[in-house]
């Protein structure tokens, strides 16, 4: 299998007791795929990113706030956050396991 990359995602049990663990899975051209393992948190974090971001909750749950509205995400659900859209991570349950895809504009990365 020439030029084929493969691997295994970390289990949710690899989540740290506090904060997040971020693992880059693959980076190709202007696309980066990461796995994020989040501990339980309820301290909001604000974001204003310069890239499109697809977030997929693989396990656990999270609450985002976009334009003042809560967006509840549970296992199997996803959201596409366009570049330059302010949003807030309101909370995550313990052992929340995310797959995140960042799509950068050419020359931004």
Tens digit of pLDDT for each residue in 4-63?
989 999 999 999 999 999 999 999 999 999 999 999 999 999 999 999 999 999 999 999
Task: Summarize the confidence of residues 86-91 as an average pLDDT.
Answer: 97
pLDDT at 3: 85
pLDDT of residue 93: 97
φ, ψ of residue 14 to 5 degrees: the values are -85, 5
Greater model confidence, 39 or 3:
39
Residue pair 102/52 in contact (Cβ under 8 Å)? The answer is: yes
Q: Is the pLDDT of residue 108 over 90?
A: no
pLDDT on residue 106: 81
pLDDT score for 86: 96
> Which CATH superfamily does the domain covering 16-103 fall into?
Jelly Rolls (2.60.120.10)
pLDDT at 109 over 70: no
In which region does residue 85 sit, left (phi positive, over 0), alpha (psi from -120 to 50) or beta (all else)?
A: beta
pTM of the model: 0.91
């Amino acid at each position: 299998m020439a030029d084929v990359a493969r691997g295994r995602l970390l289990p949710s049990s690899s989540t740290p007791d506090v904060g997040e663990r971020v693992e880059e899975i693959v980076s190709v051209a202007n696309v980066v795929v990461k796995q994020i393992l989040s501990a339980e948190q309820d301290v909001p974090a604000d974001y204003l990113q310069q890239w499109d971001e697809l977030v997929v909750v693989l396990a656990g749950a999270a609450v985002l706030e976009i334009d003042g509205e809560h967006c509840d995400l549970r296992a199997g659900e996803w959201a596409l956050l366009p570049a330059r859209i302010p949003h807030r991570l309101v909370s995550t349950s313990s052992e929340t396991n995310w797959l995140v895809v960042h799509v950068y504009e050419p020359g931004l990365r």
